[in-house]
């Protein structure tokens, strides 16, 4: 769950810039590294804004092979464009080898190739056999995700998940790995490092607007992919329950709906509950619009269902709500408590208990001072503890270890690069 919905297929508003690292002879000895993705766009938050920018600012020559409209240079990072594939099968079978050829064409050759998608692993092994140091960035627990695929029968899910685990174990042999959570990293061999997918504290527009005196009705918000397992219908039912109690709220759901038939079911539920215009399915929004909606809300919702893959996860949206100054109502999963309950930035609820969710929202909204206090707490802990600036030194140290100290790591400061130049 990396980034915001909307505008993710290319990199808009990115002026081309000179590439000083390529033109200065004194920098020719800087290690060259290449990040590769066939799934994510070039402006992906974790890949470009966090990892690539941190490496570039630490002195690496950084290349990125990814889907983009054209080859270009942004923030000293050379982007090598891959076209958008016609379909998933083509992307999985053909695009890894297009990316492989682009990596082999780079001059000077990269000393580290950092892969971001499981489908790149066969090409990664081919690169390793050619002498490249290869890293696989494990963004999520894919084997766990397969167990949640409802379109597969339960026995078939088990078989496919086990097959993926075995194949991945073979294909990651000899590769270094990067992980978003310790619970995922535990399953892999060293060398490995955990880089939590925390937000950068310098992202623009991340502050909740003053809502005092509180408007009527107050506003609840969810941003991200919308699915039944991510609480789509539960959030609507909770809004209906609050309405029955005489405590009407607006609910804004921002993000794409891929699940077949779900949007129709959601709209029927809205009509049946008599919620009218108070529940808005807003679809994808670009970054600036999403920030504007988030900053105008009162409570952020993250009510993921208790399925295996979500137990060991950290939705970035939770921390982005907190960074904006929104109190959070979130699923009561043990691995989330250190971020929400333990800090006082929100409350946990049984994610499928509509009455408990309504109780929690009503508890927060009944006291504007409580909302303000929780919001400030959440913003403070993200700024000081749960931010990318605490993670980037681990990335630099890991690269330094793989390169045996060829480049002395400098503190990376992503805030030196304007986010407007490479948006998602």
Q: What is the pLDDT of residues 231-243, one digit of tens each?
A: 999 999 999 999 9
Look-up of token digits 């609050």:
242
Contacts of 107 (CB under 8 A, 6+ apart): none
Is it the case that residue 110 has pLDDT exceeding 60?
Answer: yes
Q: Would you call 31 helix, strand, or coil by DSSP? A: coil
**Band of the pLDDT at 375, cuts 50, 70, 90?**
very high
**Band of the pLDDT at 215, cuts 50, 70, 90?**
low
Neighbours of 297 (CB within 10 A): 25
Tell me what percent of the residues of the chain surpass a pLDDT of 70: 85
pLDDT value of position 3: 38
Q: Which residues pair with 192 in a beta bridge?
A: 177
**Sign of the C-alpha dihedral computed for residues 139, 143, 148 and 152 taken in this order:** positive
Check residue 78 and report its DSSP letter. Answer: E
Entry pTM: 0.81
Mean pLDDT, the chain, as a whole number?
Answer: 85
Matching fold, domains 20-200+388-421 and 219-384: yes
209 φψ region: left (φ > 0), alpha (ψ -120 to 50), beta (else): beta
Is it the case that residue 25 has pLDDT exceeding 60?
Answer: no
Q: What are phi and psi of 336, to 5 degrees?
A: -95, -15
For domain 20-200+388-421, give the CATH superfamily: Glycogen Phosphorylase B; (3.40.50.2000)
Is it the case that residue 8 has pLDDT exceeding 60?
Answer: no
The model's pLDDT over 222-272, given as tens digits with 9 standing for 90+, comes to: 998 899 999 999 999 999 999 999 999 999 999 999 888 999 999 999 999
The model's pLDDT over 285-315, given as tens digits with 9 standing for 90+, comes to: 877 788 888 888 999 999 999 887 787 777 7
**Sign of the C-alpha dihedral computed for residues 377, 383, 388 and 394 taken in this order:** negative
Neighbours of 205 (CB within 10 A): 13
pLDDT value of position 258: 87
Q: Which residues pair with 193 in a beta bridge?
A: 178
* Greatest distance between any 2 Cα atoms in the chain: 70
The model's pLDDT over 166-181, given as tens digits with 9 standing for 90+, comes to: 999 999 999 999 999 8
As a whole number of angstroms, the distance between CA 270 and CA 260 comes to: 18
Name the residue ranges covered by the structural domains of the chain. Answer: 20-200+388-421, 219-384
- CATH 3.40.50.2000 for domain 219-384: yes
Check residue 52 and report its DSSP letter. Answer: I
Look-up of token digits 């709906």:
257
What are the tokens at 335? 């691995």
As a whole number of angstroms, the distance between CA 247 and CA 216 comes to: 10
Mean pLDDT of all residues in 200-205 = 67
Q: Would you call 221 helix, strand, or coil by DSSP? A: strand
pLDDT value of position 415: 56
Contacts of 52 (CB under 8 A, 6+ apart): 35, 62, 64, 77
Q: Would you call 60 helix, strand, or coil by DSSP? A: coil
Look-up of token digits 């950084």:
62
User: Buried (b) or exposed (e) across 314-344, using 16+ Cβ within 10 A?
Assistant: bbbbbbbbbbbbbbbbbbbbeebeebbeebe
Work out whether strand 72-74 and strand 77-82 pair parallel, antiparallel, or are unpaired.
antiparallel
Is it the case that residue 220 has pLDDT exceeding 90?
Answer: yes
């Amino acid at each position: 769950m990396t980034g915001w919905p909307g505008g993710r297929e290319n990199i808009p508003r990115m002026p081309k810039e000179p590439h000083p690292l390529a033109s200065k002879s004194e920098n020719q000895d800087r290690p060259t590294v290449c990040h590769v993705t066939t799934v994510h766009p070039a402006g992906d938050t974790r890949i470009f804004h966090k990892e690539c920018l941190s490496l570039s600012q630490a002195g690496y020559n950084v290349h990125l092979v990814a889907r983009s409209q054209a080859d270009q240079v942004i923030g000293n990072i050379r982007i090598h464009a891959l076209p958008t594939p016609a379909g998933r099968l083509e992307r999985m079978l053909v695009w890894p080898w297009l990316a492989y050829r682009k990596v082999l064409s780079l001059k000077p050759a990269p000393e580290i190739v950092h892969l971001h998608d499981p489908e790149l692993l066969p090409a990664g092994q081919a690169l390793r056999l050619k002498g490249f140091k290869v890293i696989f960035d494990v963004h999520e627990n894919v084997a766990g995700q397969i167990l949640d695929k409802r379109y597969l029968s339960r026995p078939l899910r088990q078989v496919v998940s086990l097959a993926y685990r075995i194949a991945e174990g073979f294909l990651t042999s000899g590769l270094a790995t990067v992980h978003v959570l310790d619970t995922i990293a535990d399953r892999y061999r060293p060398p490995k490092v955990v880089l939590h997918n925390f937000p950068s504290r310098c992202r623009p527009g991340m502050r909740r607007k003053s809502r005092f005196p509180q408007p009527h009705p107050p506003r609840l918000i969810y941003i991200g992919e919308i699915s039944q397992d991510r609480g789509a219908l539960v959030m609507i039912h909770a809004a209906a329950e609050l309405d029955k109690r005489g405590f009407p709220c607006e609910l804004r759901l921002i993000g794409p709906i891929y699940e077949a038939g779900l949007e129709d079911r959601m709209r029927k539920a809205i009509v049946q509950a008599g919620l009218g215009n108070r529940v808005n399915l807003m679809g994808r929004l670009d970054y600036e619009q999403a920030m504007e909606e988030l900053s105008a809300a009162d409570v952020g919702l993250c009510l993921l269902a208790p399925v295996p893959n979500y137990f060991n996860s950290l939705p970035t949206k939770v921390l982005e709500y907190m960074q904006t100054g929104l109190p959070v109502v979130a699923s009561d999963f043990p691995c989330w408590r250190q971020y929400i309950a333990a800090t006082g930035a929100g409350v946990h609820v049984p994610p499928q208990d509509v009455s408990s969710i309504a109780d929690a929202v009503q508890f927060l909204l009944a006291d504007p001072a409580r909302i303000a206090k929780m919001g400030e707490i959440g913003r403070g802990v993200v700024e000081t503890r749960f931010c990318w600036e605490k993670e980037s030194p681990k990335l630099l140290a890991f690269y330094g270890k793989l390169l045996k100290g060829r480049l002395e790591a400098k503190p990376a400061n992503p805030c030196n690069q304007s986010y407007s130049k490479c948006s998602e």
